[in-house]
Amino acid sequence: MEIKGFVKSTLIDWEGKVASILWVGGCNFSCPYCYAADLVLNPAGLPTVPLEEVTGFLKEKKKWIDGVVICGGEPTIHPDLSQFIQNFKKIPIAVKLDTNGTNPDLLKSLIRNRLIDYIAMDLKAPLDSKYNEVAGVNVNLEKIKETIDILLNGELDYEFRTTVCPAFLVKEDIVKIASSVGEARRYILQQFKPGECMNKQMNKITPYTSQQLEDMKKEAKKFCPNIYLRGDTRGNTR
């Protein structure tokens, strides 16, 4: 696996922790509002950050860096993900994985081998035909449901999250998603931000207002008590 981006410290990508973030290239989705088009479409054209640079920094700063976040793209499309993560567990340092949930077998292996400490799973849409529209590809929903079950019924800490893009999702959709995860430990609604979307038409979409997102949260909370808003919910474009 090649590292295509590295941020040494952040306070917002792993709640309650100071973390470093790694981006890996490639994805099996093509979400129109994705902000990481180069990572998805042209990862080979991006410079590679040496693994030794990252592990060296984490070893040096492990007294104040709590963990490392691995995101993309979609990390679980890489068959050597387990070996990649072992480089960080040897430091040792906690690992958070961001995933779209399409590879439950690999996730089960990572959990069984204690290679990850937290999972953030993106839920793109209700578990119906709309999922394909938002993901930009045909999605095996049985794999998505299996990953949801793994997290809901397991011991590993996790969160579900949905980017609320007005081009695709309305209040009823958010309620459906909330119903599908029910008693989840944490379900996050994230503000959609136009400006650098893969599909340039998405940059013309006006985000929901803060009040609209609050209304969605209030209705969805009837089915999923642990639901929260994240990010700038004021409807600003940047």
Answer whether residue 17 is part of any domain. Answer: yes
Answer whether residue 169 is part of any domain. Answer: yes
Query: In this predicted structure, what is the pLDDT of residue 232?
Result: 58
Answer whether residue 24 is part of any domain. Answer: yes
Domain of 210: which CATH number? Answer: 3.20.20.70
Answer whether residue 199 is part of any domain. Answer: yes
Number of folded domains in the chain? Answer: 1
Give the model confidence (pLDDT) of 37-81 as tens digits: 899 989 999 999 999 999 999 999 989 999 999 999 999 999 999
Answer whether residue 237 is part of any domain. Answer: no
160 three-class SS? strand
Q: Which residues span the domain enclosing 100?
A: 3-230
Burial-class residue 189 by CB neighbours within 10 Å (0-12, 13-18, 19+): buried
pTM over 0.85: yes
* Contacts of residue 138, Cβ cutoff 8 Å, sequence gap at least 6: 132
Answer whether residue 43 is part of any domain. Answer: yes
Reply yes or no on whether the pLDDT at 234 is more than 60.
Answer: no
Answer whether residue 88 is part of any domain. Answer: yes
Answer whether residue 235 is part of any domain. Answer: no
Give the model confidence (pLDDT) of 79-110 as tens digits: 999 999 999 999 999 999 999 999 999 999 99
Over the chain, what is the mean pLDDT? 94
